[in-house]
Amino acid sequence: RLRTVTGVQTCALPISHVFRATGNAMARTWGLEGFRFLEMPHPIANLTPAQLDERAAKIAPEVVKLLLEGQKG
């Protein structure tokens, strides 16, 4: 939906896998049934900055791929 309004490809920030149901419910509420989320292991709040950087580096290629493919994949 944001792409339709702005013309800019978008993706949600990666979410922790325990928030999958919440993310899906929010997407449905916004009329985005089937919105593709990227997930990372939970928890993240207790990670050191270095550990968080490591997780971000691991998921970064998936973020780029989703941005390039778009939600329709």
Tokens of 48: 């050191």
pLDDT of residue 23: 85
pLDDT of residue 49: 94
pLDDT of residue 10: 66
Residue 42 φ/ψ region, left for φ over 0, alpha for ψ in the -120 to 50 degree band, beta for the rest: beta
pLDDT of residue 50: 96
pLDDT, tens digit, for every residue of 2-50? 454 456 666 666 678 888 888 889 888 988 888 888 888 888 889 999 9
pLDDT of residue 7: 63
Report the distance separating Cα 73 and Cα 58, nearest Å. Answer: 20
Residues paired with residue 39 on neighbouring β-strands, in sequence order: 15
Report the distance separating Cα 53 and Cα 40, nearest Å. Answer: 12
Inform me whether the pLDDT recorded for 54 exceeds 90.
yes
